[in-house]
Structure 1
Amino acid sequence: MKKINVLLLTSSLAFSLASVADDKSVIPPAPNGIEFPADYPNWRVISISHRTDNNSMRTILGNDIAIEAARAGNTNPWPDGAVLGKVVWKQTAKKHWPSAIAPDKFVHAEFMFRDSKKWAGNGTGWGWARWVGTQQKPYGKDAGFSQECISCHTPVKGNDWVFTTPAMFPTVFK
């Protein structure tokens, strides 16, 4: 009887979590209408970065299209359908290894969605979105917030507006 109750409870919890993950109203869309990509924690790593100016560390993730493009060196321009995600944490020194840094407080998750036709009007071919804090609150008061993103990324306009340098693996892994 205990096994059945545990199985029912586990199944019920899994169903509840799946329902929440499927309910896009849990995390509102960005002010420009871009939906939160709830599956991004399952994406693969394209690169990492460390910002010394604000003591933060980032993992840059990609959906399958972005991963394939990064591994093939097809990133200028990135193909339509590629989505890049940057997950940002404040950094902290490791307790038992102070010369090493580790993620601390979660800051935000931000995304670039490549669609050269849909976002041709902003001059980049990218849609931009950010969700802040552990509550994943959409960033920006209105759809114009993405101009901040474009302004920040202007120095890398010649790199298809992308700061990320994909981390290359040894050829044995290709």
Structure 2
Amino acid sequence: MRKLAFLFATAILPLGAQATPPPSNGIKLPATYKHWQVLGVSHRDDNQSLRVIVGNTTAMTATRKGNTHPWPDGAILGKLVWKDSRHPLWQPAIVPGTLSHIEFMVKDSKKYADTGGWGFARWVGMELKPLDNDGGKPCFECHKAAAKTDFVFTRPAPLP
């Protein structure tokens, strides 16, 4: 799984890309996210996008132990999002196309008390342009629907 996360993540930065983009909502892009493990995947029909969800060590340990209600402080979840594309050699296959954005949820129950204990950050496109949107409050409005799972929509991918 770790190798898969690395392969997906390394596909998003072109050679010569800005290594450290400016913060989004006061959150820095985690420097090690390309080495995090895959926690889950998703596809959204409403905006035709593929998503790989990765987690830092704290998030992955919490997932394996079932310690996600609530998630522990220090857990960080990352979402790498691409627009759908068709595989040129196998048209039934939907594969990652253009990078839409990458985003992160950072758990700190005290610092982000106003947004369910989570800080929200997003960088848009290959340029990794930071999105600053009122401290992540619009993100939290959508995540309120997942209050039963500590405001996290991601379902860990089952493995044997």
Which range, TM-score by smaller chain?
0.7 to 0.9
> Whose RCO is larger (CA < 8 A, sep 6+)?
2
Alignment partner, residue 49 of structure 1 = 42
C-alpha deviations, 1:42-67, integer Å up to 9, x for none? 11100000001111000000000111
Alignment of 1:89-128 (within 5 A): 89-120=82-113, 122-128=114-120
Alignment partner for residue 158 of structure 2, among 165, 168, 171?
Answer: 168
Deviation at 1:168, TM superposition (A): 2.2
SS in 2 for 1:104: strand
Alignment partner, residue 12 of structure 1 = none
Give the CA RMSD over aligned residues: 1.6
| TM-score normalised according to structure 1 size | 0.78
Deviation at 1:145, TM superposition (A): 4.7
C-alpha deviations, 1:136-171, integer Å up to 9, x for none? 11112x5x151110111111112100000011211x
Alignment of 1:2-151 (within 5 A): 21=19, 26-30=20-24, 32-120=25-113, 122-140=114-132, 144-151=134-141
The question of whether the paired residues in 2 share the 8 Å contact of 1:113 and 1:128 is answered with: yes
Say which one has the larger Rg: 1
Alignment partner, residue 4 of structure 2 = none
Instruction: Among all aligned residue pairs of Structure 1 and Structure 2, give the percentage whose two residues are the same amino acid.
Output: 51
Name the count of aligned residue pairs: 144
Q: 1:89 & 1:41 partners in 2: Cα distance?
A: 16
Structure 2 unaligned runs (5+)? 1-14
SS in 2 for 1:106: strand
Deviation at 1:123, TM superposition (A): 4.3
Q: 2:115 & 2:143 partners in 1: Cα distance?
A: 12
Higher helix share: 1
Structure 1 unaligned runs (5+)? 1-16
SS in 2 for 1:48: strand
Q: 1:112 & 1:139 partners in 2: Cα distance?
A: 14
SS in 2 for 1:38: coil
The question of whether the paired residues in 2 share the 8 Å contact of 1:71 and 1:168 is answered with: no
SS in 1 for 2:78: strand
| Stretches (4+) displaced over 6 A | none
Q: 1:123 to 1:104 in 2, by over 3 A?
A: closer
SS in 1 for 2:62: helix
